[in-house]
Amino acid sequence: MTPFDSDLRRGLMDANLAQYERLLKTANSAEMDFSPSYLRERTRLLADPWGWVKRRERPGPRRLNWRLIAIAAALLLLSACAVAVVTGQFSQWFPTIWMDPKAPEVSEEIVSRMGTVIGEPQTVDGASVTLNAAVWDGQELRLSLTAEVPDLPEDFSSEAPFYDLECRLIMAEDQREAYLRKEIARSHANSHIDLTEEELEELVQSHLEYPDDPDFHSVVRAARQEDGTLILQVMAALFDYVEDPELTLHIENLATYKVEEGDDGIFTSSQAPDGTVTTDHEINDPFLKGPFDFTFTLDKKLSPISYEGDIDATYENIPLRVSKITVMAFQVCANVDLLALLDPTGEDPDKLHISLEQNLAMSLNGLWTEDGEYVECIGGTAFSVEQDGKTGGEMRGNPVHVIDPAQVTAVCIGGKRVELSELTRLDE
């Protein structure tokens, strides 16, 4: 590992600790309430833990047992640290995608295979926004927009946290129900929660009651700023449950939070059903008022490849069993179970305790490709803890450059090389 790699990993760790330390220290230990409203939010939490914390919540009584998710690791926002390698069209549109500096043309070709060129411009109140393209790996969607903002304030900083509460990504009505049914079933199955058909249908209908409420959280951030021109990136979790998904991206009142000395980096806002916004930090005037609405269809993706097996491993003396490995262009994910009962609080001496630092450091370390190259990964692990201490979750690793899933032959977990050829490939 180079000094830069070490500093980068340390910086990402520190950023995540700063983001979540206060939240975890003030965790509420109230018992869960398995109401339909709770189950809707649990579904979103299971699908996207980081996004759930960041996204708006509808007001109302809800008792979530934060102790059950107290050790859930944050998704590492690697795009903020990306190194741009100028090679072609998609690398220009997506400067935060990590390209291989040794073979940038190969990375460009990989990205183009999952890229949909859109090129749709809109102008509202003198501000022009163009939706350039989409990149989709079957689980993660990235959108690139170019914004010409003539009245961009001189003190505008693309590094400031974005207020994007009124921006949303919504699926076409005729696809939405099918998508929701598969997503709800998947998220609960991954957490070892059995749903009856009646419970599944109740959850689906509960989601459908809110047609304007996004089913997947999206994050907007600035990827580059030049002379009043912004390259914006939208990121969202989107699984390939439906063919050629039709989506609408709504951009409205995009602004930055006012950052003051002493701010802890946690900026939260909520929106009531009547549209009233409540925030714990002051917001600057919107630099993109809009509204802008872009409707498009994803016609290209680079599908994930999944493998099933029974793999024992250890991570810093923490015993694990891996049952499934999924390789994607931007991420590798392993389904893991702890082979020891876990106590997130550290109060039970007979159970295993994992510190927040250990949890954030626990990730899929790297991968090998067909040509023998080792590609380091940076990530974390998100666990779901049952009442009896049984624990399962997902270990993730983000390769330091985009990869072709078909070219990956092995992964590294806790220093152990796991050969994918020795596992069963799943047709998904």
Q: How far is CA 246 from CA 181, 243, 250, 297, 304, in A?
A: 17, 9, 13, 4, 20
Burial class (CB within 10 angstroms; exposed 0-12, middle 13-18, buried 19+) of 199: middle
Same domain, 144 and 229: yes
Same domain, 335 and 402: yes
Asked whether the bond before 101 is cis by omega within 30 degrees of 0, the reply is: no
CA–CA gap between residue 55 and residue 164 (Å, rounded): 9
Q: What pLDDT does residue 367 have?
A: 96
- Give the model confidence (pLDDT) of 272-321 as tens digits: 766 778 887 888 899 999 899 999 999 999 999 999 998 887 776 777 78
Q: Which of 209, 167, 200 lies closest to 181 in space, CA to CA?
A: 200
Same domain, 290 and 325: no
**Would you give the DSSP letter of residue 171?**
E
Q: Is the pLDDT of residue 187 over 70?
A: yes
Same domain, 162 and 293: yes
Q: Which of 203, 158, 173 lies closest to 47 in space, CA to CA?
A: 203
Q: What pLDDT does residue 214 have?
A: 56
Domain count, the chain: 2
Same domain, 292 and 321: no
CATH number at residue 383: 2.60.40
Same domain, 293 and 331: no
43 compared with 407, residue with greater pLDDT: 407
Q: Is residue 120 part of a domain?
A: yes
Q: Is residue 155 part of a domain?
A: yes
Domain boundary among 274, 297, 320: 297
Q: Is residue 370 part of a domain?
A: yes
- Give the model confidence (pLDDT) of 149-167 as tens digits: 888 887 788 788 889 988 9
Q: Is residue 124 part of a domain?
A: yes
Q: Is residue 63 part of a domain?
A: no
- Give the model confidence (pLDDT) of 87-99 as tens digits: 468 888 998 898 9
Q: Is residue 247 part of a domain?
A: yes
Q: Is residue 56 part of a domain?
A: no
Q: What pLDDT does residue 363 have?
A: 73
Looking only at the bridges linking them, the beta strands covering 408-413 and 140-148 are unpaired
Burial class (CB within 10 angstroms; exposed 0-12, middle 13-18, buried 19+) of 142: buried
Same domain, 274 and 230: yes
Q: What angle separates helix 197-208 from helix 173-190, to the nearest 10 degrees?
A: 130
Q: Is residue 40 part of a domain?
A: no
Same domain, 354 and 281: no
**Would you give the DSSP letter of residue 328?**
-
Band of residue 332 on the pLDDT scale cut at 50, 70, 90:
very high
**Residue carrying the six token digits 């914390």:** 53
Same domain, 378 and 242: no
pTM of this structure: 0.73
Mean pLDDT over 51-71 rounds to 35
Q: Is the pLDDT of residue 424 over 80?
A: yes
**Would you give the DSSP letter of residue 96?**
T
Q: Is the pLDDT of residue 132 over 90?
A: yes
Mean pLDDT over 4-17 rounds to 40
Q: What pLDDT does residue 318 have?
A: 76
Same domain, 421 and 283: no
Q: Is the pLDDT of residue 42 over 60?
A: no
Band of residue 38 on the pLDDT scale cut at 50, 70, 90:
very low
Distance of alpha carbon 82 from the chain centroid: 16
Q: Is the pLDDT of residue 47 over 60?
A: no
- Residues contacting 234, CB < 8 A, separation 6+: 141, 142, 143, 145, 167, 169, 218, 219, 220, 249
Mean pLDDT over 43-67 rounds to 40
Structural domain of 231 = 114-174+212-257+266-297
Mean pLDDT over 374-402 rounds to 79
Same domain, 137 and 223: yes
Mean pLDDT over 102-107 rounds to 91
Same domain, 318 and 420: yes
